[in-house]
Structure 1
Amino acid sequence: MTVVPREEAGGQRAGTPPLHVENLSRVYSSGEGQVQALAPFTHTFPPGMTAVVGPSGSGKSTLLNLLAGFDTPSTGHVAVGDVNLTTLSEPARADFRLAHYGFVFQNHNLVSILSAQENVEFPLTLAGLPPKERRARARELLALVGLEGRAGHLPNQLSGGEAQRVAIARALARDPGILLADEPTGNLDSKTGELVLSLLTGLAVQGRRVVLITHDLDVAALAQHRLSVRDGVVTAG
């Protein structure tokens, strides 16, 4: 059983694929014509945490959806290592996401009828991992986020912070190199938010590429790298 995180000598996680976007943009059609949700930009996301900052409606979520392959760009492409995500079929993109991405959303998106452990096991079930290995991996990850004692609880029996920590454990189930976090502390009190951010920061330090969407400049200040988005235009810093 692989221990989280996988590391090379020197404390860095092994096998984290580069994440690069080239001339990436998104234009939507509306009744009034075309709306540019994201202007063309090129960027390589370095290992560590990159905070993407901007007000509501600025284009942050559009960028996240493109990075994940949930949406198709109007121009350009997203590359993970040597794989052009944009050219893959939807089933192939879904398989690729399962293997290489982890997601943490503002509302945690846990399956309500599954226990904390079963939620963490879910991506491993999709990947075909045997039950014994799934259970061991889920216990390991729940221990990592300090919730081994809550493994049998349903999402409605967890606090907001506990549910978000389960979501982080689930995101790590297949030890992805890329984590996309969309306002992960938006519904949490400040103390619980700090705990969740500490977990994400620790994962970034290990060498993963963590892309954190936020409107909070204090949260963004914890990241090693920063992008700003306003009216669909992405700038560094």
Structure 2
Amino acid sequence: MTATTAQKTEAQTSNTPPLHVENLSRVYPSGEGQVQALASFTHTFPPGMTAVVGPSGSGKSTLLNLLAGFDSPSTGQVSVGDVNLTTLSEPARADFRLAHYGFVFQNHNLVSILSAQENVEFPLTLAGLPPKERRARALELLELVGLKNRAGHLPNQLSGGEAQRVAIARALARDPGILLADEPTGNLDSKTGELVLSLLTGAAAQGRRVILITHDSEVAALAHHRLSVRDGVVTAG
């Protein structure tokens, strides 16, 4: 199945809550002083794909960690709908992430001892979905990314591109409103990278908010919106 066909056969439309940051900043202690990893900024992320671009060490990953609630801001807040993520306890934040976020990392981060199908099922297992339902959903998503025939394969039996497509299927397992992708094509050849980007673009077309971290201007050009980060300062465009 091609990526275009997969996008057209994605039946579900995400219920996407607004994602908003207000006066968000992050400062880290360094020796006797401080390092400003992210300067204060306010932004509402619209539906569709937003590319966050900038050189290594600019603050892109800091922003991603704050948006996900993996890190706590020095000032400001991250709001998803009417929920202030920064005020939740860590267990509550983890539950909220499971329900509303999907993640795609540069190195796919699949569980090595689980098959492709089991990896996609994993967030559904955490959510308490019955085995029959989670198997059906996992196979549906593997078909979406063109890998239903690889459902029983372990990550080390997959190519890098296949593993990344499984990671996208896993990220979509609970039909999240927000997808955070950190350099998802960084380790892929250009043809496979295009396929992965096509899948992410298809996810954004369903109304999700896809935030894509990249240093590649050609990748960023595919996004609907763009933020630039340099020396911790975020600007639009």
CA deviation string 1:142-201 (max 9, x = no partner): 000000000000000000000000000000010000000000000000000000000001
Number of the residue aligned with 1:70: 70
| Separation of aligned partners in 2, 1:167 and 1:148 | 13
* Matched position secondary structure for 2:24: strand
Gaps of 5+ in 2: 1-8
In structure 2, C-alpha distance between the alignment counterparts of 1:205 and 1:53, rounded to whole Å:
21
CA deviations 1:5-52 (Å, max 9, x no partner) are 423xxxxx4x21000000000000011410000000000000000000
Rounded Cα–Cα distance in structure 2 between residues aligned with 1:70 and 1:199: 25
Return the letter of the residue paired with 1:150.
R
- Deviation string, structure 1 residues 57-114 (Cα, Å, up to 9, x no partner): 0000000000000000000000000000000000000000000000000000000000
Cα RMSD of the aligned pairs, angstroms, is 0.9
- Conservation of the 8 A alpha-carbon contact between 1:5 and 1:175: no
Three-state SS of the structure 2 residue aligned to 1:218 is helix
1:225 has 2:231 as partner: no
Q: For residue 58 of structure 1, what is the aligned residue in structure 2?
A: 58
Say which SS state the counterpart of residue 34 (structure 1) adopts: strand
1:143 corresponding residue in structure 2: 143
- For residues 114-153 of structure 1, the aligned pairs below 5 Å read 114-153=114-153
Code of the aligned partner of 2:206: Q
1:4 positional shift: 4.3
Task: Name the counterpart of 2:4.
Answer: none
Q: What pairs with 1:70-89 in structure 2 (closer than 5 Å)? A: 70-89=70-89
1:165-204 equivalences in 2 (<5 Å): 165-204=165-204
How many angstroms apart in 1 are the aligned matches of 2:12 and 2:85?
24
Deviation at 1:205, TM superposition (A): 1.2
Matches of 2:28 and 2:39, distance apart in 1: 12
Deviation string, structure 1 residues 132-151 (Cα, Å, up to 9, x no partner):
00100000000000000000
Aligned residues: 229
Match of 1:28 in 2: 28
Relative distance call for 1:62 and 1:5 in structure 2 (3 A) is farther
